[in-house]
């Protein structure tokens, strides 16, 4: 049996399945009146669970298509099911966990581009939050600076660990 021949088609179909789950939970919460999923916390948990399952599936399969679609879906979770409290603490904790999980997947499968994409999207989400809250306090700006520094250190550590694992760093 040749597994490699139809693997890209299977990976694309699996990725589309995860997109369908994101759309189902997201549309069920946000775009129906009355909402099918009325509780925002449940919708957030369901969408985050889809992201975790996509990450596990991407490592087990292995499928970069599923990993990228799961990562992009993971960044859409706060947009679809999040509530804006005016403080970025919950968002930053979620984004840090998402970047750490992406770094793990990237290290497990040696997909360094996934690590870069996760970090870049975290920076974009931080910038979007600040563009929507121009009057944030100085303390919030310091928290954001600390978050961005932590994300950057995580990215550098994952990059060094990845290159060391491939034998390129002494």
Write down the mean pLDDT value for the chain.
Answer: 85
Nearest by Cα to 152 from 113, 88, 103: 103
- Of 26-30, 62-66, 68-72, 150-154, the poorest mean pLDDT is in 26-30
Query: Would the pLDDT of 123 be above 50?
Result: yes
Tell me: pLDDT of 2 over 60: no
Tokens 């919460």 found at = 29
pLDDT of amino acid 1: 38
Strand locations in the chain (E): none
Q: What is the pLDDT of residues 6-23, one digit of tens each?
A: 788 888 888 888 888 888
- Proportion of the chain above pLDDT 90, given as a percent: 25
Nearest to 122 by CA among 96, 85, 102, 159: 96
Per-residue CA distances from 105 to 53, 81, 128 (Å): 12, 24, 25
What percentage of the chain reaches a pLDDT higher than 70? 94
Length in residues, the chain? 170
3-state SS of the chain: helix, strand, coil percent to 5? 80, 0, 20
66-109 pLDDT tens trace: 899 889 988 988 887 777 777 899 889 999 999 999 999 998 88
In whole angstroms, what is the distance from residue 95 CA to residue 123 CA?
A: 10
């Amino acid at each position: 049996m040749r597994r490699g021949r139809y693997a890209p088609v299977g990976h694309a179909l699996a990725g589309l399945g995860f997109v369908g789950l994101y759309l189902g939970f997201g549309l069920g919460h946000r775009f129906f009146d009355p909402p099918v999923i009325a509780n925002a916390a449940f919708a957030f948990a369901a969408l985050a669970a889809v992201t975790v399952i996509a990450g596990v599936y991407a490592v087990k399969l292995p499928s970069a298509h599923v990993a990228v679609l799961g990562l992009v879906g993971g960044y859409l979770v706060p947009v679809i099911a999040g509530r804006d409290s005016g403080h970025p603490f919950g968002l930053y904790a979620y984004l840090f966990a998402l970047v750490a999980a992406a770094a793990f997947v990237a290290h497990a499968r040696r997909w360094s581009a996934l690590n870069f994409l996760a970090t870049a999207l975290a920076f974009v989400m931080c910038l979007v939050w600040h563009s929507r809250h121009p009057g944030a306090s100085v303390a919030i700006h310091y928290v954001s600076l600390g978050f961005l520094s932590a994300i950057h250190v995580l990215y550098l550590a994952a990059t060094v660990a990845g290159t060391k694992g491939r034998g390129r760093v002494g």
